[in-house]
């Protein structure tokens, strides 16, 4: 098991390293010249251009620049934002809490709603199942910005239950501010968990070992809890892991709609503004979250399924 884990971690590090190269390279391949952004398009003297190029290492060979960047990044130095003249790391730390809180709130909602309705749909065949399936389809097909606008107009503007925009100040206020964004994201993501929960519980319920349990006179509640749900938790947890990674990257639209200062909105403003140190750092952070989540999902898998542990220790 130790060796398997070590290998997963090495793969994780290689993934992040490879992604970092692509991230670094793609911003330089993108159209537009960083220097003309730095000078805001005003006519500039060759001396100024040379000074800016030197400050941002724009004239060094590509590989050298990449190595410089990745070494600095490793030490927590992502350079300075071009647009805001502040260290990139400060910007990220300023924006991180909103995103973390939003992702946690959303994940809780998505898992509760998804597993609950997926489970109901799995066992209540007929109109209830059909209704939940239809709701999942509609929900999945609704873009987050549409549900955001709907939620704002009904619950924030219309009923006034929640604030219209902004991240809030203290923790209670922050949570209050993030309810509607979390609901908007939940509308987009609960069908992913719900469909998996429905399919896996239904499949597990048809399994032979459930027949054994029924033949022993165990109550349906016991069978659902200890055999159906316990076993379906394995595929469900995988999808929860993927959803977490997807949510971290996918908060951008909702953050923009609710004008929250999260990582997603930071990525969007930095990309559109050619603030390349910020864009690179945020992209690298997201890739790292993805890769680490994958390792965590693997560990979760082993914790839930004894067969995986055995195959790991054999390798």
- Which CB sits closer to another protein, 3 or 207? 207
CB of residue 219 to another protein, shortest distance in Å: 7
Instruction: Write down the least CB distance from residue 303 to another protein, Å.
Output: 11
* Token pair for 232: 């379906």
- CA 41-257-32 angle, to 5 degrees, is 20
Buried b (16+ CB within 10 A) or exposed e, 205-225: beeeebeebeeeeeeeeebbe
Interface contacts to another protein, rule CB under 8 A: 207-209, 211-219, 222, 226-227, 230-231, 234, 304-307, 310
Measuring CA to CA, which residue among 141, 166, 162 is closest to residue 257? 166
- Rounded least distance, CB 118 to another protein, Å: 19
Q: How far is CA 191 from the centre of its chain?
A: 16
Nearer to another protein among residue 36 and residue 212 (C-beta): 212
Could you tell me the smallest distance in angstroms from the CB atom of residue 297 to another protein?
17
CB 277 within 8 A of CB 34: no
Nearest distance from residue 36's CB to another protein, in Å? 60
Q: How far apart are CB 164 and another protein at their closest, in Å? A: 47
H runs (alpha helix) in the chain: 2-29, 34-38, 46-55, 62-74, 88-123, 127-141, 144-151, 171-205, 208-215, 220-223, 230-250, 252-257, 263-272, 276-304, 306-314
Tokens 């619950």 belong to residue: 155
Closest approach of another protein to the CB of residue 6, in Å: 24
Of the pair 7, 207, the CB lying nearest another protein is at 207
Nearest approach in angstroms of CB 239 to another protein is 17
Q: How far is CA 2 from CA 290, 306, 307, in A?
A: 22, 15, 16
> In this complex, which beta carbon is closest to another protein, that of residue 57 or of residue 230?
230
The Cα angle at residue 231 between residues 230 and 237, in degrees rounded to 5: 85
Burial of 291 (0-12, 13-18, 19+ CB in 10 A): buried
């Amino acid at each position: 098991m130790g060796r398997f884990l070590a290998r997963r971690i090495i793969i994780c590090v290689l993934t992040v390293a490879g992604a970092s190269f692509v991230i670094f390279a793609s911003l330089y391949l993108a159209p537009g010249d960083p220097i003309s952004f730095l000078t805001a398009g005003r006519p500039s003297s060759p001396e100024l251009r040379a000074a800016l190029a030197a400050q941002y290492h724009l004239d060094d060979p590509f590989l050298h620049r990449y190595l410089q960047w990745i070494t600095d990044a490793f030490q927590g130095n992502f350079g300075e934002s071009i647009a805001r003249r502040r260290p990139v790391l400060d910007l990220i730390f300023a924006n991180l809490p909103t995103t973390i809180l939003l992702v946690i709130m959303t994940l809780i909602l998505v898992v509760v709603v998804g597993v609950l309705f997926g489970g109901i749909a799995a066992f209540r065949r007929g109109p209830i199942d059909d209704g939940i399936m239809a709701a999942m389809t509609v929900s999945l097909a609704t873009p987050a910005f549409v549900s955001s606008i709907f939620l704002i107009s009904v619950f924030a503007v219309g009923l006034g239950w929640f604030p219209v925009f902004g991240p809030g100040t203290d923790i209670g206020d922050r949570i209050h501010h993030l309810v509607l964004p979390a609901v908007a994201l939940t509308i987009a993501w609960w069908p992913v968990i719900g469909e998996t929960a429905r399919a896996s519980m239904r499949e597990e319920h048809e399994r032979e070992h459930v027949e054994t349990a029924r033949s022993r006179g165990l109550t349906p509640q016991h069978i659902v809890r200890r055999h159906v749900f316990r076993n379906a938790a394995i595929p469900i947890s995988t999808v929860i892991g993927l959803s977490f990674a997807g949510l971290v990257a996918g908060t951008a639209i909702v953050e923009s709609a609710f004008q929250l200062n999260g990582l997603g909105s930071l990525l969007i403003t930095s990309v559109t503004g050619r603030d390349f140190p910020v864009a690179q750092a945020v992209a690298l952070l997201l890739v790292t979250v993805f890769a680490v989540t994958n390792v965590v999902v693997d560990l979760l898998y082993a914790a839930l399924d004894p067969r995986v542990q055995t195959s790991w220790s054999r390798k």
